[in-house]
Structure 1
C-alpha cells in the first residue's frame, strides 16, 4: 500500500478531496463521468485525480457492466470507482492503538474460554506477537524497534525507547500496558536472537517504560543518539 502520509496529504488538493468525498458517499461504484459531472470538472481532470486516489490506496477500481447484460454484444465493462478497503491512518508520534485493542480483546476472549488469568494471556500473546514480528525483521535490534514506533536511542550501555506506541493506554493502565510492552519487546528480541540484549522495566519521563541493556560486544552502531 502507498505511503499513508502521502495518501492523507493528497486530500489537501481541493478537487481531489471533492471527488473522494463524492465517491465514498455513494451506495454503488461510480464512473469517472458521473464523478466529473457531480463536482463539475472536465472528464480528463476528474480521471487524473481519481486514478491518483487509486494509486495512493484511497479508492479502488472495479469493472462492471452497468446494463447487466453479458456475453457477445454486451459491450466492455465500465471502469468504476469506490472506497478502498484499506484503512489509512497517520499518527505523529507513532501510535498502535488498533494493535493493542486486538491484543486486549483476544486475550479477554481466550481468558473467558479457558479460565486462564487475562493478564497472563495478554502477556503471552504480546510475546508471541513480538516473535511473529521478528520473523519479518532484518535481525537488527534498532531497526526492528523503530519499525514498531519505539524510536530507539542509545545511551551508554542501554537503548532507551523514545516513544511508546500505546502511550495514552499506558498513562491510564500503566502496569497492564507496560507489562504487555515488556513481553512484546522480549518476544521481538528472542525472535531475532539478539544475543547480549535484554529488556527490563525502567520507567523514566519522556520514554517508554521498557529499557534495553546491551553487553559491550552487542552494541549496535545503527542505534542513533
Structure 2
C-alpha cells in the first residue's frame, strides 16, 4: 500500500509539473503576442514609456524560460519517466528556447528602430505582424488543444513571411539599381525584415516540435 501510495504521489507530482510547464509556455506566447501589440502601438505613437513596456515584457519572457527549464530539470532528476514523457519534456525545452529567441528578435527590432524611423518602418512591420500575430495565435491553439492541423497551418503561413522578406530585399536592390539615395532607414528596413523573418522561422520550429510531440504521444 505504501509503495502504491508513493507511486500515486509521484504521478500526481508529475502531472502537476507537466500542467505547469504547458501553462507557462502558453503564458510566454501571450507575452510575445503582447509585445507585438505594444510595438504596433509604439509605431503609431512612439514614446520612451511604450518602448519600456516592450522591454519589460521581454524580461518576463526570460523569467518564464528560466522557470520552465528549472521545472524540467527537477522532473528529470526526481522522476523515473518513460521514453514518451521524456521526449515531451525535451520538446518543451526546445520550444521555450525558440520562444526566448522570438523575444530577442522583437527586442532587437525595438532597439534598432529610433523614433525618427517609425513612419518609414511602420508599413513593413505591420504587414509582417499581420501574418505572425496569426501564427502566434495558431501556435497557442495548437498547443492548448493538441490540434495538429492548426500547427501545420503555422508552417504553411511562413511562406508569406518569407515572401515579405524577399520583397524587402528586392526593393533595396531596385533602389540601388536606380541609383537612388540609400538612407539609414532603408538599411534598417533590411535588417529588421531579417529579424521579422527569423520570428516566423522560430514559430515554425515550435509548431514542428509540438507536432512531433503530439504524434509521439499517440504512438
Instruction: Work out which structure has the larger RCO, using CA pairs closer than 8 Å and 6 or more positions apart in sequence.
Output: 2
TM category (shorter chain) comes to under 0.3
Greater Rg over alpha carbons, structure:
1
Structure whose residues are more often strand by fraction: 1
TM-score (norm 2): 0.21
